[in-house]
Amino acid sequence: MTSDLKVLSEFVHIIRQWEQDGMPPDALLKQTVTMMSDISYLRLYRLAGHHIVQQFSSDDTLTENLPTDLQQPTQHNGAWLYPLLWRDARLGILEVGFVDEANQDLAAMLASQLAFVLDHYIINSMIENQAFIAARLANCKTFGEIAEALSLDVLREGQFISINLFEYDDLDNFVGFRVIATANRYKSYDADYVIPVQWHEIGRGLQRAIEYGEHHMIEDVQAYADISDRLKVTLSGDPIVSSYIFPIRSQGKVLGLINFNSVRHPISLTYTETLFWQALADQAGVLVLLHNLTQEAVFSQDISAKQTMVFNQLSAGQTWDDMTQIVARYMLPQSRRLLAVAELIFDETGEITRWVIHAVANREKLFDWNEDTELNWDDIGTELQVAIRNNDIFILKDIRNIKPDQVGRAFYEWLQTNEVRTYLSVPISAGDKPIGVMIFMSRDWNAFKRDEVNAFQNIGELMGALLEIGRLDQQTRRANSIVMNLVQANRLITTAADAAQMARAVMQTLAKQNRAVGITLLDTPLQSPEPTPNKLVAISTTEETILFDEPVDVTQVTPRNLQRLLDGQHVLLDTSRNDQLIPTVVRERMHVPASAWLALFGLRSGSELIGTLVLMNDAVYDLSLEEISAYTTLADQIGLSLKSRQLLVMTQQAQQVATRLLEANRAITLAEDFTEMVKVVLNLMPQGILTASIALFNRAVVEGDLPESIVTRVVATREQVFQPNIWDELPPDYPGFDMVISRLLQGGGLQVEDTRNRNNLIKHATDFLEEQGVYSFVTVGLRAGRRLLGLLSLGKLAETQVTAQQIANMQAIADQMAVTIENQRLVQRSQDAAHRLEKQVHQMEQIAAFSQALQSTFDLRTILEISLINATQIFTADYTAIMLYNTTRAALYAVAWQINSQDPVVDLTEGMPVEISGTTAGLVWETRQPLQTNDISQLDNRRFTFLDDIQSVLSLPIVSRGVVTGILELGSLKRGAYSITDYVVSQQFANQLAVAIENAEVYAQSQRLAKSKAKVNEISSLLQQQMDIEQILDLTLNELGQVLGAKRGRIRLNVDD
């Protein structure tokens, strides 16, 4: 005991010397080991939580993987470990290497003294760090510098701090944290982003830190259920393991929070370390407050100066582009910001119908607006539309906190696509009326401060006033010009000789600012809004005027717009329809753009509408009330002038059409075939008609009846005539099929504008015509009395419109054609009947010859060859196969086949295996029933057994004694190849073949039996001639081996004793 006290006394002396000299802990441990003979080494480990953060050793050696949760001395790998506890805190571990373990009490006392040493060392280190960090903080001027002063060479791996201020909305409600700086042990970062969270999502600990300035520890962040998931990860998405929150306090206020975080290990601070960090947070608070106030003062002065510069440069008469560029240059100095300026367009009732984006700019330059990402008025939500109508500011500080329905789903998706974080719309107003909108966008959260918004609003009011002054001045000048041009246009139209001169008169006077002026005429004058084909008869530009020899078909005007034109109102067409309204040939010749602005004014004569006056422009043009009135007057004058000419032309055209119809009917009556008929029809039609085709039903139908199929017999183009004979099945459940037949029987025509991407009733014929580049059709029925024989169809250009009168003329031709076809059918039926009878007689004669040929032989190979040759002669077959069931292999094999006119193949040794699943032969084999189809595509999931292109199939079971032993299969590349006669004859053929194969097998079997009996008799005779038992046995083995083909044999006898 005395010895231990002496050692302890010396150790205390060493500690005092260590405090005075400031020697490192390693030196203290080495000196202690020198004076203690029972201890070979001492190792000291400093802990932070359960993690070792510093290590000291007397022998320059350290132990890895030590247990860090010691509560009492523990033996470990030949050494003893002692927990170092001081002031209820676990500071570290002492590892003792004993020479003699009998004196452990002394080691325990050393551990308690070393706990004091370690605590003293930690406090001294913190004091040094605090002094060092305080000196660095004194020189900080930015948030990034503050974060760097707190972190550089202080934090450990995986640790970082963030400086966060509080974010409030306009009603001073807490809406999140604004991160202004972050740092790790190596580098600091300036930041400016908001973490949006509500008050109830931050937990009571953070709430007390904000309200009362209390620091708060979250040992396990991921398991802490009281806070939002947004606070549990870094900006890059890495999970935060542990966090200490220190309030930034200054002048009795909590300005923000310093978060001391770790993404690797839990943080464990002693009471002293916690006080140390809070002191640093308070010192930083003074700097944050100073920095924040200074920044706001400078920012306000800067915004005021910039607003003054914008006011000085804006003036009346400037364009939207000029004003936008001035505002962006001075008011958007920051990057990641953009300004778009839009004009609001109102209808006659004062409602906003759309907005037009005039200019887009950032701080450096003006941009062309990307139409693919344009903000349409209908895309934005009701809330935003109401704000714009009411001349109010609308701001979205953080689009993550809004719901799509608030701003409109399409607009919300547009914001997301373009990475907009903050959106601000400021009205451009003239008095109380909004005339435009300034749209400020930023890719940063909560980007626009209150002073900026106020400045934007002031600028918007000035821009509105200046634009209104410019508009009034321009309106006055325009009104004077309109009056002068209207007087001149009236004089020119009065003396014009035709529609082209009238269009040029408008173009040279009122419409100088437009790209072109056109005049269209309706096929039939209207007194009510019924859709009617519309044709462009004349067009004029500044370079050229054209009167079309043959009017060009254009898109029909909708009933709603026709009513407006009848009422004397103008129509503005949707640009999406303009490619169809202005034919391609006209646009290319006159250099009119594909997408243009068009306005229509009705050409009226009394109560009738006979056409339209069309204004064309490259871009949207805002017609004034004065211009609308002037164009309406001119259109009425043109309508009256054209009416008399139109009546005369209609009389002449009616006479010409009647003459051509009479000639066409005469030519069809004399036509010998369908080819001559369609040529007559096609020559009668205008150039917009590309093809004429005739298709006949499988039988004539009457009202309430439906045909089963149709064959397209002939198709004529302007260059050539096809006779494709395309067969199509007509499904009875096709939607509206019965209505189509009824309409055709009643003489109504059918029009199909585009066959692509639709379920066509006559599929294969439509596919053929699409291959010729024809996608639009008009069709009438071939009527013979009350019966419908088929269809007459005209393929046309998409822009070609067929009038009701043209359809009536087409029906007259079709009726004459049907009568001619019916007469030709009567003749053809007689000829066909004679041909069928001749064919049946011929087939029966060939069946008889086939039967005789089979009876002349019992050889299976010869039977199969004869069958293949006769099948090709009797039937229309591009492929013939005979399949037999192989009992040894337990499978169906093709043993004989012939492709086209190639030599027949018979293979009785191997053959070709027949796939049962998914084939026509497999269907016959499974059902044991014959199969006939003239269109294999109508079979569900079945293909021809061996060839891919076969269309018609006859497949029959070969039945012997009630058992299916094989299959006879015929295939043709043509649809509709096999008649009912072919089906009946093929069954007789298969029956004859089955009998012949059965006879051949019986004959072969009898031959084998006779041969076996003869051999038995021969062996019996030889055995009777032998007297010796061994010779008898030897002879028996030899003879049987030859018969059976055996290489070895054995006879075993049981001999009784």
pLDDT at residue number 7? 59
User: With contact defined as beta carbons under 8 Å apart, do 728 and 698 qualify?
Assistant: no
pLDDT at residue number 79? 84
C-alpha dihedral sign at 142, 144, 150, 154: negative
> Would you give the distance in Å from CA 374 to the centre of its chain?
20
Strands 963-972 and 879-886, bridge-based pairing: antiparallel
Residue 476 lies in a domain: no
Render pLDDT for 29-58 as a digit per residue (tens, 0 to 9): 787 777 777 788 888 887 766 667 667 788
Domain boundary among 130, 148, 169: 130
Mean pLDDT of 465-482: 76
Give yes or no: residues 746 and 866 share one domain. no
pLDDT greater than 70 at residue 721: yes
Residue 192 lies in a domain: yes
Neighbouring residues of 1005: CB distance < 8 A, sequence distance ≥ 6:
none
Give yes or no: residues 442 and 543 share one domain. no
Residue 362 lies in a domain: yes
**Alpha-carbon gap, residue 977 to 698, rounded angstroms:** 14
Specify the higher pLDDT residue, 49 or 410. 410
What DSSP letter does each residue of 87-153 carry, written as one string?
TTEEEEEEEEEES-TT-HHHHHHHHHHHHHHHHHHHHHHHHHHHHHHHHHHHT--SHHHHHHHHHTT
Identity of the residue numbered 137: L
Which SS3 state, helix, strand or coil, does residue 79 take?
strand
The mean pLDDT of the chain is: 81
pLDDT at residue number 650? 56
Give yes or no: residues 279 and 395 share one domain. no
pLDDT at residue number 958? 92
Render pLDDT for 158-208 as a digit per residue (tens, 0 to 9): 889 998 888 887 677 888 888 888 998 888 888 777 888 999 999 898 999
pLDDT at residue number 1? 42
C-alpha dihedral sign at 769, 774, 777, 780: negative
Give yes or no: residues 512 and 413 share one domain. no
Mean pLDDT of 406-413: 83
Residue 117 lies in a domain: yes
User: With contact defined as beta carbons under 8 Å apart, do 725 and 761 qualify?
Assistant: no
Burial environment of residue 977 by CB neighbours within 10 A (0 to 12, 13 to 18, 19 or more): buried
Residue with tokens 């500080």: 397
Render pLDDT for 655-671 as a digit per residue (tens, 0 to 9): 666 567 667 667 776 67
Give yes or no: residues 508 and 443 share one domain. no
Residue 75 lies in a domain: yes
pLDDT at residue number 923? 92
pLDDT greater than 50 at residue 294: no
Neighbouring residues of 670: CB distance < 8 A, sequence distance ≥ 6:
none
Strands 952-960 and 931-933, bridge-based pairing: antiparallel
Token readout for 358 is 């005039």
Which SS3 state, helix, strand or coil, does residue 219 take?
coil
Query: What are the Cα distances from residue 593, in Å, to 508, 541, 577, 618, 725?
Result: 20, 13, 13, 6, 44
Closest to 83 measured CA to CA, from 32, 53, 55, 47: 47
pLDDT at residue number 2? 46
pLDDT at residue number 892? 92
Render pLDDT for 72-129 as a digit per residue (tens, 0 to 9): 888 888 788 888 776 666 778 888 887 566 666 767 777 777 776 666 666 666 666 6
The pairs formed by 218-227 with CB atoms below 8 angstroms and a separation of 24 or more are: 218/242, 218/243, 218/244, 218/245, 219/266, 219/267, 219/268, 220/266, 226/202, 227/201, 227/202, 227/203
- Helix (H), strand (E) at residue 468: helix 450-495
Phi, psi values for residue 182, rounded to 5°: -140, 160
Residue 661 lies in a domain: no
**Alpha-carbon gap, residue 314 to 426, rounded angstroms:** 17
Give yes or no: residues 811 and 686 share one domain. yes
Q: Specify the DSSP class assigned to residue 904.
A: P
pLDDT greater than 90 at residue 882: yes
Which SS3 state, helix, strand or coil, does residue 1007 take?
helix
N-term to C-term CA, the chain:
111
Residue with tokens 């009438």: 780
Give 706's Cβ-side CA count (13 Å radius).
14
pLDDT greater than 80 at residue 133: no
Residue 834 lies in a domain: no
Give yes or no: residues 698 and 747 share one domain. yes
User: With contact defined as beta carbons under 8 Å apart, do 228 and 197 qualify?
Assistant: yes
Mean pLDDT of 743-770: 88
**Alpha-carbon gap, residue 581 to 546, rounded angstroms:** 17
User: With contact defined as beta carbons under 8 Å apart, do 667 and 761 qualify?
Assistant: no
**Alpha-carbon gap, residue 767 to 724, rounded angstroms:** 12
Closest to 684 measured CA to CA, from 663, 669, 666: 663
Range of the domain at 998: 840-1003
pLDDT at residue number 646? 60
pLDDT band at 834 (very low <50, low <70, confident <90, very high): low
**Alpha-carbon gap, residue 25 to 30, rounded angstroms:** 9
How many Cβ atoms sit within 10 Å of the Cβ of residue 540? Answer: 26
Give yes or no: residues 921 and 818 share one domain. no
Neighbouring residues of 790: CB distance < 8 A, sequence distance ≥ 6:
694, 695, 696, 697, 710, 781, 782, 821
- Domain with residue 958: its CATH number is 3.30.450.40
Give yes or no: residues 86 and 165 share one domain. no
Q: Which of 365-374, 444-453, 730-739 has the highest mean pLDDT?
A: 730-739
Residue 413 lies in a domain: yes
Give yes or no: residues 377 and 440 share one domain. yes
Cα-trace Rg, the chain:
51
Render pLDDT for 920-976 as a digit per residue (tens, 0 to 9): 999 999 999 999 999 988 888 889 888 888 999 999 999 888 889 999 999 999 988
Domain boundary among 239, 271, 298: 298
Its pTM stands at 0.34
Give yes or no: residues 747 and 689 share one domain. yes
Domain boundary among 778, 798, 824: 824
Domain count along the chain:
6
Specify the higher pLDDT residue, 452 or 970. 970
Give yes or no: residues 318 and 434 share one domain. yes
Which SS3 state, helix, strand or coil, does residue 627 take?
helix
pLDDT at residue number 304? 75
